[in-house]
């Protein structure tokens, strides 16, 4: 069966596609930053339980206090990019979502349970004692499971050739396990997220935990070690990910597309630079290098998506029925929301939760 025959017709856009693409690439890295901090702080808290000393126990306690905030920020900052993916690629995403509907619906209870456990881990930290480690481990596994479901959906969305499997398995239980790049993509995403989350642990420690020098020092050391080693691992996994991509996609990054090739070169340089500063435990230098690196990786991800869909879909050819009011309302809401978030963050050091 011709995969193109399975793809629904794309809906008309309400504004020029460039606006939607710009906002997608603006908001998605913000979601990534929050997700990285969430996963990385959970990993750092888990490891802290395994290390001896009061400072690591207290570090886990302080990270427990931050974790519910990070889960909330991750979920809320994920709404906007998911919205723009739906607007641009909705006819593709809805199709892949139906194919794996049972797993997709499972995202909601998984996040709810993880969020609930994060609050238990925070408010009952001292009461839980030694079993607290099992609580944070469960949170980490649940959140990483959600990431695996999302990775399946986003890869199946760009692989219409796999959709015909539905006729043999129409129960909404399909996963994109036959994709040779699925596992490498997921591990690449997770190692990168946990690495940047390690950096968050270091920044959080030297910024908010500096009143207790031992705890701040422990958080700095553990966070930067996680960042450095996981970033090195991500570089290796990144090579694996590239070679598992279809040849026509790989060629985009090997000189076939100037933008994609340039992004890869910049990404490698920035990653190596962060390894150097991370090894030297230069927290702020590593942070300022990592911020653009996450954006570069987001643009590379978009280039891969464009390459996969080249034979099926071209957003520049989707008809446009201009309606400015939805975009104007969104932009106003986005600016107001960001102002509120900044204000909330500015108040955190003054509370007893830090």
- Read off the pLDDT of residues 192-210 as tens digits, 9 standing for 90 and up: 999 999 999 999 999 989 8
Q: pLDDT, tens digit, for every residue of 54-92? A: 999 999 999 999 999 999 999 999 998 999 999 999 999
pLDDT at 350 over 90: no
Considering only 3-12, 205-214, 318-327, which range has the smallest mean pLDDT?
A: 3-12
| pLDDT band at residue 169 using 50, 70 and 90 as cut-offs | confident
Query: Rounded mean pLDDT of 260-289?
Result: 95
Which pLDDT belongs to residue 271? 94
| pLDDT band at residue 352 using 50, 70 and 90 as cut-offs | very low
Which pLDDT belongs to residue 354? 37
Q: pLDDT, tens digit, for every residue of 303-312? A: 999 999 988 9
What is the residue extent of each domain of the chain? 11-345
| pLDDT band at residue 349 using 50, 70 and 90 as cut-offs | low
Task: With beta carbons less than 8 A apart as the criterion, state whether 274 and 288 touch.
Answer: no
| pLDDT band at residue 1 using 50, 70 and 90 as cut-offs | low
pLDDT at 102 over 90: yes
Handedness of CA 112, 70, 81, 228 (dihedral sign): negative
pLDDT at 302 over 70: yes
Residue of 151, 97, 145 lying closest to 304 (CA atoms)? 151
- C-alpha 354/C-alpha 348 separation (Å) is 7
Percentage of residues in the chain with pLDDT exceeding 90?
76
For the entire predicted model, the pTM comes to: 0.90
């Amino acid at each position: 069966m011709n995969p193109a025959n399975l793809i629904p017709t794309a809906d008309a856009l309400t504004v020029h596609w460039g606006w939607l693409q710009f906002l997608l690439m603006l908001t998605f890295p913000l979601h990534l930053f929050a997700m990285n901090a969430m996963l990385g702080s959970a990993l750092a808290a888990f490891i802290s339980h395994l290390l001896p000393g009061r400072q690591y126990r207290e570090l886990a306690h302080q990270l427990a206090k931050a974790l519910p905030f990070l889960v909330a920020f991750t979920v809320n900052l994920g709404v906007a990019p998911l919205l723009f993916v739906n607007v641009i690629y909705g006819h593709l995403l809805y199709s892949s979502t139906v194919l794996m509907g049972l797993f997709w619906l499972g995202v909601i209870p998984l996040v709810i349970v993880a969020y609930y456990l994060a609050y238990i881990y925070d408010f009952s930290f001292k009461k839980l004692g030694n079993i607290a480690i099992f609580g944070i481990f469960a949170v980490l596994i649940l959140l990483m499971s959600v990431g695996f479901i999302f990775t399946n959906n986003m890869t199946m969305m760009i692989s219409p050739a796999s959709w015909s499997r539905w006729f043999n398995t129409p129960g909404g239980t399909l996963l994109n396990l036959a994709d040779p790049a699925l596992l490498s993509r997921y591990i690449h995403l997770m190692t990168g997220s946990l690495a940047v989350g390690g950096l968050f642990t270091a920044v959080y420690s030297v910024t908010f935990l500096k009143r207790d020098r031992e705890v701040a020092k422990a958080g700095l050391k553990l966070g930067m070690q996680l960042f450095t080693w996981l970033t090195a691992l991500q570089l290796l996994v990144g090579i694996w990910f590239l070679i598992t991509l279809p040849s026509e996609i790989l060629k985009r990054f090997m000189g076939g597309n100037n933008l994609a090739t340039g992004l890869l070169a910049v990404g490698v340089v920035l990653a190596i630079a962060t390894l150097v500063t991370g090894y030297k435990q230069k927290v702020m230098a590593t942070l300022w290098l990592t911020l653009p690196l996450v954006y570069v990786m987001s643009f590379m991800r978009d280039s891969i998506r464009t390459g996969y869909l080249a034979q099926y879909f071209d957003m520049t050819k989707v008809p446009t029925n201009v309606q400015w009011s939805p975009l104007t309302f969104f932009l106003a809401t986005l600016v107001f929301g960001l102002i509120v978030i900044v204000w909330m963050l500015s108040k955190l050091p003054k509370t007893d939760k830090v």
